[in-house]
Amino acid sequence: MRVALGIAYRGTGYLGWQSQPNGRTIQDHLERALTAFVAAPVATMCAGRTDTGVHALNQVVHIDVGVEREPFSWVRGTNRYLPPDIAVQWAMPVADDFHARNHARGRRYSYVLRESPERTSIDAGLVGWVFRPLDGDAMRAAATVLIGTHDFSSFRSSECQAASPVKELRAIGIARHGAYWRFDFDGSAFLHHMIRNLMGCLVAVGQGSRPPSWMAEVLAARSRDAAAPTFAPDGLYFLGPYYDAALGLPQRTAAFDWLPFTGA
C-alpha cells in the first residue's frame, strides 16, 4: 500500500533533506526510523528537497510498504525512532498512483528575518538576521516584478538540477511584527537556492543599497552574477506542498501556529 506522511523538522543540525553517505540528512533519519518501525527497508519520495539548515513544517513524502497500520500508528510508531527535532505529524493512505512531488499543484515557503542591532541568540538558527533597518515599501515594490511566470536563472544555484529555470511565482507577502519580518513565497516550484537568492536581493533593496527598480534588471539579466549573494538558510521554512483538494491531504500542522504572525 502507499502512504503519505507529513513531516516537520528543524534543519539546523542536518545536511538538508537528500540522503548522503554520511547519513546526516533528514531523509536518512526518516528512512531508518520507518525501517525500524515496519522491520523492512522503506524508501521515501518527498515533495521538495530542502538544503542544509532549512526547516520544514509540512514536508510531504510517500512510501510503499507491505504492511497496514492505522494512521495514528504510523505517526507514533515512526516518531519513536526519530530524534526530537524530526517528527511525523500525520499519515494517510493514498492511491497507488499518488506522487508526493509530481502531484503537487504548488509549494509555499516562508522566511523569518530578525532586524535588530544585536545578533540572534534564543532564536539562533531559526531566523535570519540583519542589523540595518529595512524599508518594507521598497521591498514590496521590488517584489511585484517577480510575480508571474519568468526565467529565474538570476536566482538559480550553479548546482541546480532543474530541467528548466522557468517557474511561476504566484505571490510574495512581506509583513513585519516587532523586530521580525516574514516573507511568504507561493509558486509552482522553486529552483535550488532560489528563495535564498531572492532574499538576498530583497534585503539589498530594503537596506537601500539598491533601488526597487534594480530587481527588474536582475530578473532580465538571467545571470546569477547580476544578483546579490545567497542569503543565510537559518530563517527559511518549507511550509509544504499543496494538492488537489479532493485528495484531502492536510495543508497545515501544529507548527503553523508557532511560526510568527502566520497567514498561511
Q: Which residues are catalytic?
A: 51
The CA angle 146-8-93, to the nearest 5 degrees, is 100
Cα–Cα distances (Å) from 9 to 6, 210, 263, in that order, read 10, 35, 20
Residue appearing with cell numbers 542544509: 52
Pairwise CA distance, residues 219 & 248, whole Å: 36
Name the E strands within 65-105: 86-94
Report yes or no: 167 and 149 within 8 Å, Cβ to Cβ. yes
The closest alpha carbon to 61, from 29, 24, 33, 30, belongs to 30
Phi, psi (5° rounding) for residue 51? -85, 175
Report yes or no: 252 and 60 within 8 Å, Cβ to Cβ. no
